[in-house]
Amino acid sequence: MSLSGTIAGHQNSLLQLYRKLEKRFEENSVIQTLWRDMADDVSLQIQSVKSFPSSVWNQFKNVPDNDFESAVKSIHSPPVDVADISLRDSFEISLQLTEPIVLKIYARIVRSLRKNSTAPTLNFYILVKS
């Protein structure tokens, strides 16, 4: 699988988790809105990653310290059942699933995009920075 496909697959799992958490905390509109917004942000990230030209991904193929694949593979799968997850645990799970992507992959992509910006990549850069 390609790097963009691997990232999109992980992000789709994260999106589904946020949708489940949105339903899980439906009794609290503030928390429910938080998870909805998180899901919307991940959805935008997925769209941005898919819109990158292949040249963005090609520059990472032959990099000697390319640990993108291992970064994605090291991430645990999101829980299937969120019915008994506390709010604190849901935040912790979210951070554990998001941190490796942001620190090990998105940070390197953003550094590269700052050097070679295009319209779709600039949108991604702004989304990640915010």
What pLDDT does 62 receive? 64
Backbone angles phi, psi at 34, to 5 degrees: -60, -50
Tell me: pLDDT of 124 over 90. no
Instruction: Dump pLDDT digits (tens) for 47-62.
Output: 888 887 777 777 777 6
CA pair distance 3, 88, nearest whole angstrom: 31
Instruction: Dump pLDDT digits (tens) for 68-114.
Output: 666 666 676 777 788 888 999 999 988 888 888 888 778 777 777 77
Would the pTM count as exceeding 0.85? no
User: CB–CB of 53/120 below 8 Å?
Assistant: yes
What pLDDT does 38 receive? 92
Mean pLDDT for 18-29 is 93
User: 66-70 contacts: CB < 8 A, separation 24 or more?
Assistant: 67/104, 68/3, 68/6, 68/7, 68/104, 68/105, 68/108, 69/3, 69/6
Instruction: Dump pLDDT digits (tens) for 32-42.
Output: 999 999 999 88
Backbone angles phi, psi at 30, to 5 degrees: -65, -50
Q: Where is pLDDT greater, at 126 or 21?
A: 21
